[in-house]
Amino acid sequence: MAELRVPLIAGNWKMNLDHLQSIAFVQKLAWALKDAGYQEKQVEVAVFPPFTDLRSVQTLIGADDLPLALGGQDLSVHDDGAHTGDVSGVFLKALDCRYVIVGHSERRSDHHESDDVVAGKALAAVRNGLVPIVCVGETAEDLEQFGPSKVPLDQLAVVLDQLKSSDDYVVAYEPVWAIGSGQAATPDQAETVARALRAAIQDKHGADAAARTRILYGGSVKSGNIAGFMKRENVDGALVGGASLDVAEFSAIVRFPAHVTMDS
Ligand code: PEP
């Protein structure tokens, strides 16, 4: 992580917690972060509840002035119209979402989202004033066949072609084999790919974009391994799935600056 980029710890709840559970969860998370002396300027924390929870969580964050950013787990390439079941970036923006995840591997596999669709979603996010968190990552088969960086770089290239150098976006390197498997990449592996992704941003969008764009690692991140990732120059945070559903574990991940100098 480099000083000029505020680290982002993003909790992707996936299809967990209904709107009532989400309220109780966010209240507990806010208390845990307060107890731990959480500093918003040091680390940004964002939560990504299911769509049906967004209004409840937005209301709670607003009413209690909680230091949490809100994001959607997906959005439509369209802003309105006859697209049953899709959710518009216009609507996410109206709910005070700051971020939206695009191209998560579960969307790519469950809904056959192509790189072009992911790029269209990133564009829809930016068009609506949302910051897309663009997920890229290789499967175990890709890793064996092409090594670690090729697939993530190819996926990112399609998105970068659609965005402008002035656009604000985040990239999440999430090796598919590490998601939900309990087998995280090593910090060295994450840094190698993050460095390659940053170089690609520099080639396409210039040095300023490369210097300011945050690159997250995701895949079986826990409180016990976050420090190792955050010590790396090109890793600026984490996209956390399973561990984001455990208040104690997630708030310990957010507190990584307290243990980033320890061996991990
Ligand atoms: C994810 O869903 O983006 C993720 C990284 O999941 P997990 O942390 O459970 O591996």
pLDDT digits (tens, 9 = 90+) for 41-70: 899 999 999 999 999 999 999 999 999 999
Structural domain boundaries enclosing 107: 8-259
pLDDT digits (tens, 9 = 90+) for 15-24: 999 999 999 9
Closest approach atom of ligand 1 to CA 104: 3
Region 157-169: what's the mean pLDDT?
98
pLDDT at 263 over 80: no
Closest approach atom of ligand 1 to CA 240: 8
Closest approach atom of ligand 1 to CA 184: 10
103 occurs within a structural domain: yes
Q: Any idea which residues carry the catalytic annotation? A: 104, 174
59 occurs within a structural domain: yes
Question: Which residue lies with its CA nearest to atom 3 of ligand 1?
Answer: 241
Report the distance separating Cα 122 and Cα 256, nearest Å. 29
Of residues 40 and 102, more confidently modeled: 102
Contact 165, 209 (CB under 8 A): yes
2 occurs within a structural domain: no
163 occurs within a structural domain: yes
155 occurs within a structural domain: yes
180 within ligand 1 shell (Cβ under 6 A) = yes
220 within ligand 1 shell (Cβ under 6 A) = yes
* CATH code, domain with 143: 3.20.20.70
pLDDT at 209 over 50: yes
User: 256: pLDDT confidence band, cut at 50, 70 and 90?
Assistant: confident
238 occurs within a structural domain: yes
Spatial CA neighbour of 173 closest among 162, 189, 159: 189
240 within ligand 1 shell (Cβ under 6 A) = yes
The number of domains in the chain is: 1
Question: Which residue lies with its CA nearest to atom 6 of ligand 1?
Answer: 241
13 occurs within a structural domain: yes
73 occurs within a structural domain: yes
